[in-house]
Structure 1
Amino acid sequence: MGANLGSEIRKRRIKFNLTQEDLAELSNISVNFLSQLERTNNQNISIKKIESIATALNTNTPELISAAYKSQPDNIESNKSKSYFLDKLNIAIKKLPEKEAEEVSKHLFYVIKDLTK
């Protein structure tokens, strides 16, 4: 399965008593996209969308990603998904302006460091 960011987002959305429509509006994404993210293991999401959702959920991107990893079983399939997800993040970071990429990279460094404890 791997890290399921959608499950973590859903859990936090419910904690704040937000509907999918509320969170979609607050994070400037479509309800359909949010619904699919929460329902499936499709983790094809840009770092900017993760940041937007995290902000709407009163958290930050590294915390949201870290929580998604921590809630998953540690097995071979999970490790494959982690690697895939980190590769996708790396690609997304490379597309950002240099200053923004550096800031996101710093936060991700702390997440990765925390995951390897």
Structure 2
Amino acid sequence: MRKLLGENIANRRHQLNMTQQQLAELSELSINFISRLERGGSSDVSSSTLLKLATALNTSMESLMTNGNITTPTKRGPQLTQLINKLEGYDYAKAESLSKAILQILNEK
């Protein structure tokens, strides 16, 4: 299980052209932990940690733990994932206000 999880994390990270450092930042985990995990050297993975990794890798927790195919890459790269994670960290009103401002900037021509 540990080895499979680590391989799936590394494979998905490579699919997204993401470094371990980027994954560490997006998942709010240490780069040492991610490195150890990818090598199969860490057996202490909580569901909340797995969720952080799956979210940062834009995939499901199940796909990280199973032998099936990892979710194919989407348009959500590391920067967009980081932006979404930041917005989700705010309360509803603040997240909506920031989202509206970002959309106004993007809609300017």
Identity %: 42
TM-score, normalization by structure 1:
0.52
Which structure has greater helix proportion?
Answer: 1
Q: Structure 1: which 5+ residue stretches go unaligned?
A: 72-117
Computing the radius of gyration over CA atoms, which structure comes out larger, 1 or 2?
2
SS at match of 1:40: coil
Flag the structure with more relative contact order, 1 or 2, with Cα contacts below 8 A and sequence separation at least 6: 1
CA RMSD of aligned residues (A): 2.1
Q: C-alpha distance in 2, partners of 1:53/1:40?
A: 15
Contact 1:13-1:57 within 8 A present in 2 as well: yes
CA shift, 1:2, in A, is: 6.5
Q: C-alpha distance in 1, partners of 2:27/2:62?
A: 17
CA shift, 1:43, in A, is: 2.6
Q: C-alpha distance in 1, partners of 2:17/2:29?
A: 18
Number of residues paired by the alignment? 69
Alignment of 1:1-117 (within 5 A): 4-67=4-67, 70=68
Q: Structure 2: which 5+ residue stretches go unaligned?
A: 70-109
